[in-house]
Structures are given as C-alpha cells and as structure tokens.
Amino acid sequence: MHVQNEQTTRDKTPAKPDARSLDAIRLDTVTPMHVCLVVDDDAIADHLVSALEGAGRHRISVFHDIADLQQSNVTPDAILIGVQQFAALRENEPMVYLRLSRRSRIVVVLSSRELLDAAHILAFADAWVFQDINAERINELIDLGLEGHCLMPKQFLSRLGVDEIRLTLLPRLSDVEFQTLLLLGQGLNNRTIADKLNLSEAVIKSMVRSVLSKLHFRNRTEAGVFAARQQPSLEQARHLGESPESPMPIPRTSEA
C-alpha cells in the first residue's frame, strides 16, 4: 500500500522542463523594451546592437546625437549614450537631460580608461556599460538599470584596479609633471623637488596640483603612495600609453 501511494505521488509530479523550455519561459516573462543608442563610434554601436539583438526581445533604434533622438519624438525605455555625449548633455542642455531621465533609463557607455574621468557624472546615470569589459552582458545591465541597480566590474573595487586605470592616463603628464610624480613617490616636499628639478617652488606647487587633477588623486599623499607602489611600472606605462586612443578628459559639469 505504501509503495502504491509513492507511485501515485510520482505520477502527479510534473516533469522538470529542459534547458530549452526554461529559456522559452524566460523570454515569455520578460517585457520587450525599446532601446535607443546614442553613440558616435560606429564600431561600438555595431557591437552593442549585436549584443542587444542576441536577446531577441528589444526594439532598437540608433541615433548619432541627442538632437536626432529628440526630433524622432520616441520615448524609449532605455537610452544607451556615450560618456562624452552624456557629459556634454549634462553640461550644455540640463533641461533636456532632466526631460529624458524622467521618461527613460539612461545607461552610459564608456571604456575602463574613462572611469576616473567620468566619476563625477556617472552618479547621474541609471547604469554603466564598459565597452571593453562587459558589453556582452548589455541586456542584463539594462534590466538591472531599470530596477535601479548598477553592476561594477570587480577589478575596479580594488586599489590595484584603480592603479591600472591611472597607469593608462600617464601620457597626459608633461615631462616635468611626470618627474614631479616620481619624486612625490620618494616622499619629498615641494622645496626639495624644486631643488632637484632646478625649478622654483611655486612652479612645483603648480605641477603637483596638475598631477593631482590629471590623474584624479585626492591629495599629494595618495599620489605619492601610487608612485611608490607602481614605481617599476611607471616609465613603461607612460610610453606604452602614448597613442591616439588615449581617452580625452571629460569636462566637469557645473554641479560637480
């Protein structure tokens, strides 16, 4: 009798769906979205469109600038916008930014090398996509953005990860600024640095301020610790980074 009851229970238990069925269920339960791309780099736009199309559930529109998007009179669920364009939008057309952000989720597209430059504006976006790290996960990142969440690559959560970004920015420094950074790594004060470089203390003070600004250090101590920690890599990174692909500084908005 006990065996018969077990058999009856087993017969009533529904069969588990296979992986293919689960994928179909997920697609059926996810709401299709209209996603607009505002990216001026065609290669990046093509890459993102390909990743979005892989989900098979989005309506996708591509625009070269915000003006084109406004003239289209569409109201997308999400706007993927390049970081330079987003910075210009925040700086030059704040009311347009407010209008768009009330109607759509804004997802900023940037490279890892632009993270420190863009830190002051990323808080105004709903999510971020790093084109060189997690663009393949664009659909997941949009879904998270719609729910008010943002996924940060784990390498940026460590001190060494931030160091790697700063190393790519070293070509921004002039020769004197770079020498100043190296000497900050030795724990020297402005007067001693001025003596070593045969410059006035006022010039060195200006050089220190410029180094802090260009590499996004909070103070000279942070800059010195970075230079000491990365001393073997500084010269090599400075020369390797000298290429047309070095990121342009992102303008700060008046609110920053």
- pLDDT digit of tens for each residue in the chain (256 aa)? 344 443 433 344 445 555 444 444 444 455 678 999 999 888 999 999 999 988 787 899 999 888 888 888 888 999 999 999 999 999 999 999 999 999 999 999 999 889 888 888 888 998 899 998 888 888 888 888 878 777 777 777 777 788 888 998 999 999 999 999 999 999 999 999 999 999 999 999 999 999 999 999 999 999 999 999 998 888 888 776 554 445 555 555 444 3
Whether 250 is in a domain gets the answer no
Dist. CA 129–CA 26, nearest whole Å: 23
Whether 108 is in a domain gets the answer yes
Out of 116, 138, 157, a domain closes at 157
Q: Are residues 41 and 132 in the same domain?
A: yes
Out of 157, 173, 188, a domain closes at 157
Whether 38 is in a domain gets the answer yes
Q: Are residues 34 and 100 in the same domain?
A: yes
Closest alpha carbon to 234 in 165, 170, 161, 162: 170
Phi, psi of 156 (to 5 degrees): -85, -5
> Residue 40 has what pLDDT?
87
Q: Are residues 167 and 135 in the same domain?
A: no
Is there a contact between 106 and 126 (Cβ–Cβ < 8 Å)? yes
Q: Are residues 28 and 99 in the same domain?
A: yes
Strand pairing class (78-82; 105-110):
parallel
Is there a contact between 36 and 80 (Cβ–Cβ < 8 Å)? yes
Dist. CA 194–CA 235, nearest whole Å: 21
Dist. CA 76–CA 184, nearest whole Å: 49
Domain with 212 in it = 159-240
Return all residues near 208 (Cβ < 8 A) that are at least 6 apart: 180, 184, 190, 220, 223
Closest alpha carbon to 61 in 47, 78, 44, 41: 78
Q: Are residues 141 and 228 in the same domain?
A: no
